[in-house]
Structure 1
Amino acid sequence: MIELDHFIVSSRDKAASAGQLAGLLGVAWGEARFGPFMAVYLNDGLTLDFVDTDQPFPVEHFCFRVPPQEFDAILARLQAAGIAYRSKVAGPVDHEVDTQFGGKGVYWNEPDGHQWEMLTVSYARPT
């Protein structure tokens, strides 16, 4: 089996970006053991490693599949933080939850522009 171990996320302020995401997701974060990274510990085997750069970088899209009860907790943290979210990947900010794939889903952008998606049922995998 192949497992993704980490993904490097470019940022202008790695501590602010990592801290915001970790707080919303309710996971641990901190300085990585090696290199110039600030790690967000998504689960026992995967980190998002934020790194500061002054170079241009593309906006990336990251999707988190979570259980329904965790979805509700994360959505409540998004709302409490006043972070704009939407029901469509490229849609307007509507503060709505997408339910068209049999689960729940929302999208939001972090300060550097990266797009986060959270869903309860994967539409990318065959059932």
Structure 2
Amino acid sequence: MPVSFNHTIIAAKDRQESARFFRELLELPEAPSWGPFTNIQLDDGTLLQFAEPPVEIQMQHYALLIDDDLFDRVYARLRERGVTHWADPQMRRPGEINDEHGGRGVYFKDPAGHAIELITRPYL
């Protein structure tokens, strides 16, 4: 079997809120959840498991590859909801997207403060 990414646990202040944020933004259906996790499942089968840790949450970076049509819809939702976003990871170009690596990209923070990057073309 080739190596593939199966799941990760993402720290959340409110696991339900974080899972709902990603489901609505990325047009994903609800996924079965259990124990301390509220899950969403990406189209490739990868599980994102949101949990509320008993410690202060440290910002992490998560980058998701999406197609151009979904990018257009997601970007429209970000703007409609007034989500602060940037064209760059240094957050120096607010309210913009980038066109690097032959595609488009945008950075924003999720409800727990994690840095989220959406891109339409892989870097490699």
Q: Does TM, scored on the shorter chain, surpass 0.5?
A: yes
Which residue in the other structure is 1:51 paired with?
Answer: 51
- In 2, Cα distance between the equivalents of 1:108 and 1:68? 18
Which residue in the other structure is 2:71 paired with?
Answer: 71
SS in 1 for 2:4: coil
Are 1:29 and 2:10 counterparts? no
Q: Give the counterpart letter for 2:21 in structure 1.
A: Q
Q: Is the 8 A contact 2:21 2:111 kept in 1?
A: no
Q: Give the counterpart letter for 1:115 in structure 2.
A: A
- In 2, Cα distance between the equivalents of 1:56 and 1:6? 22
SS in 2 for 1:16: helix
Q: CA RMSD in A?
A: 1.5
Which residue in the other structure is 1:60 paired with?
Answer: 60
- In 1, Cα distance between the equivalents of 2:90 and 2:15? 25
Q: Could you report, residue by residue, the CA deviation over 1:98-120 in whole angstroms, capped at 9, with x for unpaired residues?
A: 01221100000012110110001
SS in 2 for 1:2: coil
Are 1:113 and 2:75 counterparts? no
Same amino acid, percent of matched pairs? 28
Which runs of at least 4 in structure 1 moved beyond 3 Å after TM superposition?
none
Q: Is the 8 A contact 1:41 1:47 kept in 2?
A: yes
TM-score (norm 2): 0.91
TM-score (norm 1): 0.89
Unpaired stretches in structure 1, ≥5 consecutive residues: none
- In 1, Cα distance between the equivalents of 2:116 and 2:30? 17
Q: How far has the Cα of 1:92 moved from its partner?
A: 3.2
- In 1, Cα distance between the equivalents of 2:93 and 2:32? 33
